Amino acid sequence: MSIDRHLLLLGLLRAQEMHGYQLNEFIDQQMNFCVDLKRSTAYYLLDKLCRDGYVAEEVEREGNRPERRVYRITPAGEVHFQDLLRQNLSTYVPPVYAEDIGAIFEHHLAAEESLRLLNARREAIQSHRARLEVLHARLPISHTAVIEHHLLHLDAEITWVDQMIAARSTPSPLKIAHHVAPDDPPARHE
């Protein structure tokens, strides 16, 4: 949702006025592990926040360098920030997990290949988790909660992959209702 990106930018500009490039550098260096925001998207969002009156733009000219738009949060932006923050903290919007789609169609592959692929994923998760643990030490204490959050979900993900692998390893636990199509048969009328 774009609204959380608004919250992010407002929160950062609230702590310190910045121009687009500076903001992008900060996000890339400090927050790449928890936000996915392309540079051009950040510029787009800054412009959007500006048009909506939540931040003010001021052209800065340092030395002989030409433009450089510096953004600072406005009073309206401060109010909006608080609204978005309260909204964010008090609700839960279930994310969409890409893995679900694969899980739905996984049985179309041979068990052997399926297991090979799922094991590859398991390793990918593990190595991602290892990278996060390294970050844990390198990043400021303010990020600890976010890292813990990711670690919890990564562990959940590993548990799930292991369940999938286990289910695929045993030939077929029990096939009572063998007449029910294993896939999704959307056939209705006609």
Q: In angstroms, how far is CA 171 from the centroid of its own chain?
A: 36
Q: Which of residues 34-93 bind a second copy (CB under 8 A)?
A: 34-36, 62, 81-82, 85-86, 88-93
Q: Which does 49 bind (CB under 5 to 8 A by kind): DNA, a second copy, none?
A: none
Q: Contacting a second copy (CB under 8 A), which of 64, 142, 170, 172?
A: 142
Q: Which of residues 25-84 bind DNA (CB under 7 A)?
A: 25, 36-41, 43-45, 48, 63-69
Note whether 97 binds a second copy by CB under 8 A.
yes
Instruction: Point out which span in 41-49, 51-59, 98-106 binds a second copy (CB under 8 A).
Output: 98-106
Give burial (CB, 10 Å; 0-12/13-18/19+) of 73: buried
Q: Which of residues 84-123 bind DNA (CB under 7 A)?
A: none
Which helix (DSSP H) or strand (DSSP E) does residue 72 occupy?
Answer: strand 69-73
Pairing type for strands 18-19 and 69-73 reads antiparallel
CA-to-CA dists, residue 103 to 83, 97, 122, 143, 184, angstroms: 37, 10, 14, 32, 12
- DSSP reduced 3-state for 181: coil
Q: Which residues bind DNA (CB under 7 A)?
A: 2, 5, 19-22, 25, 36-41, 43-45, 48, 63-69
